Amino acid sequence: MRESREARVIGVDLGGTNIKAAAITKTGQVVTKVEWATEADKGVEHVINRLQKIAYTVAEEAGWNWAEVTGMGIGLPGFLNFRTGVVEQAVNLGWKNTAIISVLSESMGIPVYFDNDANAAAIGEAWVGGGQGFDHVAVATIGTGIGGGFIINGHIVRGANGMVGEIGHLLMEREHGRLCNCGKHGCLETISSATAMLRSAREAVREGAQTTLSQFALDSLTTRDVIDAARLDDKVAYAIVKQAMETLGIALSHIGNTLNPQRIVIGGGVSKAGEIIFEFIRKGFEQGALPRVIEACQIVPAKLGNDAGVIGAAKLALEA
């Protein structure tokens, strides 16, 4: 195969605040990367124009002629219709029933693909990150919420209408659970997200618990402070992090018993806290998972950080 015929793809991570685009090789290496403000407030057409421009810019910076680019993939936060290529709803972008695939592929002269941002990140991690080399990979991202993506037999699983991976809304507390953004009570992300741990810490301080966290101004306290205090044997912080991460581990054991993955990759800000959280997650997992499920599965940190989304989006264009 001549070099100019080799797959050269653009991966785009379209968020409500920023657009990231990267030129990516067929082996998942980032050649170059560009990040711009999305400017979603200026409307759909404006953002679609920016998507085109950022793709042309990143190709040029990679030293690729546009004619050499074989496809583009986009990850974005929203409900997507994979049959029609329409973004049915993307709250962060202010989009409703927005056709982007046909518009972009026609104007750019290349095939364009999309997936939701959680799936794109999961595809990236399974391809060249924490799940590299495995065909059955679950990815859980722990941030302000909890998202997930599942690669089974080497392929992302999307389900009947794109809702596979909404693990933040697994019901973990049937009574007295906190209200979730989804309108239900007791969802996993009301217990185990970074936001939930911070909320628990603030509640403990307000209730007068004996903790080093009480020396922080409540507004400036971060999840990181809570995990750091847990590591330094602050009993209150330790109990909060333990409860949150063991519950996450139990939720992952349900996924383990359902899907029998080889790797569960933990991403998001919380995953950078290191061994303390993995110890609790594994403990919860081992409590709920069957022995053969445990034997086949390792729980590991994500490797790609913020690049997972662009790398996974690029893979969409390589797989097709």
- 288 by DSSP, 3-state: which? helix
Site string for Zn ion, 123-142 (x = CB under 5 A): --------------------
Site string for Zn ion, 150-179 (x = CB under 5 A): -------------------x----------
Kindly list the distances between the CA atom of residue 311 and the CA atoms of 122, 129, 147, 152, 243, in Å, as whole numbers in the listed order: 10, 10, 17, 18, 33
Give least dist CB 126 to Zn ion, A. 25
Q: Give phi and psi for 163, each to the nearest 5.
A: -100, 5
Q: Residue from 67, 163, 179, 182 that binds Zn ion (CB under 5 A)?
A: 182
Give least dist CB 177 to Zn ion, A. 9
Pick the stretch among 109-117, 136-144, 187-195, 230-238 that binds Zn ion (CB under 5 A).
187-195
DSSP letter at 2 equals -
Give least dist CB 180 to Zn ion, A. 3
Q: Count other Cβ atoms within 10 Å, centred on residue 26.
A: 13
Give least dist CB 163 to Zn ion, A. 12
Candidates 10, 40, 36; CA nearest to 23 is 10
Q: How many residues bind Zn ion (CB under 5 A)?
A: 5
| Nearest to Zn ion of 13, 117 (CB atom) | 117
Residues ≥6 apart with Cβ < 8 Å to 163:
none
Distance of CA 224 to the CA centre of its chain: 19
Pick the stretch among 6-14, 82-90, 145-153, 183-191 that binds Zn ion (CB under 5 A).
183-191
Give least dist CB 139 to Zn ion, A. 19
| Nearest to Zn ion of 182, 218 (CB atom) | 182
3-state helix, strand, coil in the chain (%, to 5): 45, 25, 30
Q: Residue from 47, 93, 170, 180 that binds Zn ion (CB under 5 A)?
A: 180
Instruction: Kindly state whether residue 187 participates in binding Zn ion, applying the rule CB under 5 A.
Output: yes
Give least dist CB 30 to Zn ion, A. 33
Here the tokens at position 169 are 């809304």
CB-count burial class (<10 Å; 0-12, 13-18, 19+) for 68: middle
**Where on the chain is the footprint of Zn ion (CB under 5 A)?**
169, 180, 182, 184, 187
